[in-house]
């Protein structure tokens, strides 16, 4: 018979002991709003882009405007909970991540962090709740939606947070950190594979010379048509000289390249066939897109098939991901579909090569003169790919596959934790604990 809002989980006919977030968090803080850079100057600053599953990865941007005191106050600590405050995609607003250990990173202002009181809820349980259907209902209830959706710390303080038993909190925490261990193993396997590749090519410790170099007109512009000095940096010549010691082929000789469509915003929907853009593509997979297309209108547009390599050619160029199975989504015209046509190269190996410095340097050279990066199909066809012996390709591919296996297992465990939270709210903690017992080990 309780009617007050703190006993009610919104949009669900479920009653559970709860408190408003303002009563259970001991600390709330905005990140820095100072300008960031991509030249590694200053302190590393985490953004939403570096949320990895419900954890975090290495920042891609830095800030040289932070003084030491500000940086120390913003450094991420174990069990911090980071929450997305504002974004153009409402589905990303309120998305949360757990900081699983101390990091030498600050964080940006469109995130805020909280530290919950473990007497009421553990950080790992809070993240599982916020990412669950019940948590999303609360976030959407209190979010302000305009050109940018916003979920401020003030609004966060108003949402209802369920209070679980210490036993349940502990079970969720242990499962979450087990998932983090799997993710660390996945990253280790991937970087080992990349290390084998670079070491096999003799460029593991390749140091680039970023001083410009003068070239005669006959050996520069008349051959390439490029006037930007960056195209002629000696680091690119050094890379190609190293690759001359190995068998190589042009990418266009190894794959058939096709692209999808660019329908325009008039066709954007909130449901239908997922429309994947460059912002939704990572080397580890495809994130949930915010845009959809009409299934009937676009029924004849190509979908990615198993072992297709998706590669970005605009914006953040050269991101490659090998599709594990046939998928029912449509990619933008900025993402190319690469289908292997040469039996002497393995798809996992080729994907790793594209994501490595071997191809990333070539992408940097080709697109270096553009304000908005664009990699021309003619340039992509001429990308030089080293072909290592099949035994070495297989060794590398096995590590890549193990990396993805561990990554998928990490995602499964996190989904089990989230589902257990939903069962505890919707049914009972006893049912949730039984579910955890049955599903923890797959």
Domain co-membership, 81 together with 175: no
**Which pLDDT value is given to residue 225?**
47
How far apart, in whole angstroms, are the C-alpha atoms of residue 393 and residue 389? 6
**DSSP class per residue in 31-85:** -B-SPPBSS--SEEEE-GGGEETTEE---SEEESS--HHHHHHH---TT-EEEE-
Could you tell me if 18 and 146 lie in one domain? yes
The answer to whether residues 344 and 264 belong to one domain is yes
- DSSP-derived letter for residue 331 is E
CATH classification of the domain holding 309 = 3.90.220.20
| pLDDT tens readout for residues 81-90 | 999 998 877 8
C-beta of residue 116 within 8 angstroms of C-beta of residue 164: no
- Does 224 map to a domain? no
Residues 130 and 34 in one domain: yes
**Contact indicator for 382, 251 with CB cutoff of 8 Å:** yes
pLDDT tens, position by position, 211-251:
544 444 444 443 444 545 455 566 777 888 888 888 999 99
Task: Tell me if residue 235 falls in helix, strand or coil.
Answer: helix
> pLDDT tens digits for 48-79?
888 888 999 999 899 999 999 999 999 999 99
Residues 316, 356, single domain; the answer is yes
11 lies in the same domain as 72: yes
Q: Does 382 fall in a domain?
A: yes
Query: For residue 395, is it within any domain?
Result: yes
For residue 136, CA distances in Å to 3, 151, 248, 406 come to 22, 11, 50, 27
The span from the CA of 261 to the CA of 268, in Å, is 13
The answer on 158 and 46 residing in a single domain is: yes
Dihedral over Cα of 291, 292, 298, 304: its sign: positive
Structure tokens at 187: 């990253």
> Last residue of a domain, which of 387, 404, 420?
387
Strand pairing category for 149-150 and 51-52: unpaired
- On whether both 119 and 252 belong to a single domain, the answer is no
User: Do 251 and 350 sit in the same domain of this protein?
Assistant: yes
DSSP 394: H
Residue 4 has pLDDT above 50, yes or no: no
Same domain, 383 and 394: no
- Distance, in Å, from the CA atom of 258 to the CA atom of 59, rounded to the nearest integer, reads 32
Domain assignment present for residue 237? The answer is: no
Is the residue at 29 inside a domain?
yes
Give the separation between CA 117 and CA 122, rounded to whole angstroms. 7
Residue 401 lies in a domain: yes
Question: Which residues lie below 8 Å from residue 100, measured CB to CB, with a gap of 6+?
Answer: 55, 78, 177, 180
Query: 163, 189, 224: which is the final residue of a domain?
Result: 163
Q: What is the pLDDT of residue 205?
A: 64
The answer to whether position 35 is within a domain reads yes
Q: What residues contact 325, with CB distance under 8 A and at least 6 apart?
A: 306
Output the CA–CA distances (angstroms, integers) from residue 440 to 79, 153, 355, 407, in the order listed.
22, 33, 33, 15
| pLDDT, tens digit (0-9, with 9 covering 90-100), for 125-157 | 999 999 999 999 999 988 887 777 889 999 999
Predicted TM-score (pTM) of the model is: 0.84
Name residue, tokens 């990865």.
57
Q: Determine phi and psi for 187, rounding to 5 degrees.
A: -65, -40
Domain of 153? 5-163
* 205 vs 191, higher pLDDT: 191
In this structure, the answer to whether residues 137 and 170 fall within a common structural domain is no
Q: What is the pLDDT of residue 92?
A: 85
- CA-based angle 115:136:58, to the nearest 5? 55
| Interacting residues of 330 by C-beta distance below 8 A, sequence separation 6+ | 260, 261, 273, 274, 275, 276, 293, 298, 301, 302, 303
pLDDT at 99 over 90: yes
Residue 231 lies in a domain: no
One domain for residues 54 and 142? yes
Mean pLDDT of 390-411: 96
Length, in residues, of the chain: 442
Q: Look at the chain and report how many structural domains it folds into.
A: 3
CA angle 236, 237, 242 (to 5 degrees): 100
Q: Are 370 and 360 in contact (CB under 8 A)?
A: no
């Amino acid at each position: 018979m309780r009617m007050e809002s703190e006993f009610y989980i919104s949009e669900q006919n479920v009653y559970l002991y709860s408190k408003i977030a303002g009563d259970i968090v001991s600390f709330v803080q905005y990140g820095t709003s100072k300008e960031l850079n991509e030249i590694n100057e200053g302190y590393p600053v985490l953004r939403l882009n570096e949320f990895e599953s419900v954890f975090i990865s290495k920042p891609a941007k830095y800030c040289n405007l932070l003084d030491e005191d500000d940086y120390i106050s913003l450094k991420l600590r174990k069990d911090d909970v980071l929450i997305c405050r504002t974004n153009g995609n409402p589905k990303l607003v309120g998305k949360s991540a757990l900081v699983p250990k101390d990091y030498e990173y600050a964080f940006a202002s469109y995130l805020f962090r909280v530290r919950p009181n473990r007497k009421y809820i553990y950080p790992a349980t809070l993240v599982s709740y916020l990412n669950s259907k019940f948590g999303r209902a609360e976030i959407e209830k209190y979010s302000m939606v305009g050109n940018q959706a916003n979920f401020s710390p003030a609004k966060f303080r108003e949402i209802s947070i369920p209070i679980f038993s210490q036993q349940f909190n502990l079970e969720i925490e242990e499962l979450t950190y087990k998932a983090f261990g799997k993710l660390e193993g996945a990253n280790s396997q991937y970087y080992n594979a990349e290390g084998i590749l670079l070491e096999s090519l003799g460029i593991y410790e390749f140091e680039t010379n970023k001083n410009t170099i003068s070239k005669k007109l006959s050996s520069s512009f008349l051959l390439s048509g490029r006037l930007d000095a960056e195209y002629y940096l000696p680091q690119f010549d050094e890379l190609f000289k190293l690759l001359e010691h190995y068998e190589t082929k042009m990418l266009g000789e190894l794959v058939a390249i096709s692209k999808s469509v660019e329908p325009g915003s008039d066709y954007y929907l909130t449901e239908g066939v997922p429309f994947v853009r460059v912002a939704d593509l990572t080397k580890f997979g495809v994130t949930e897109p915010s845009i959809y297309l009409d299934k009937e209108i676009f029924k004849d547009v190509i979908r990615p098939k198993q072992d297709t390599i998706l590669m970005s050619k605009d914006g953040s160029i050269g991101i490659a991901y090998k599709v594990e199975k046939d998928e029912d989504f449509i990619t933008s015209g900025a993402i190319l579909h690469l289908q292997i046509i040469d039996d002497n190269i393995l798809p996992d190996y080729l994907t790793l090569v594209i994501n490595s410095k071997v191809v990333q340097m070539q992408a940097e050279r080709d697109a270096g003169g553009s304000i908005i990066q664009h990699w021309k199909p003619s340039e992509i066809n001429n990308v030089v790919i080293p072909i290592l012996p099949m035994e070495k390709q297989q060794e590398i591919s096995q590590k890549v596959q193990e990396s993805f296996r561990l990554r998928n297992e990490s995602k499964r465990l996190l989904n089990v934790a989230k589902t257990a939270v939903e069962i505890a709210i919707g049914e009972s903690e006893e049912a949730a604990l039984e579910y955890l017992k049955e599903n923890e080990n797959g």
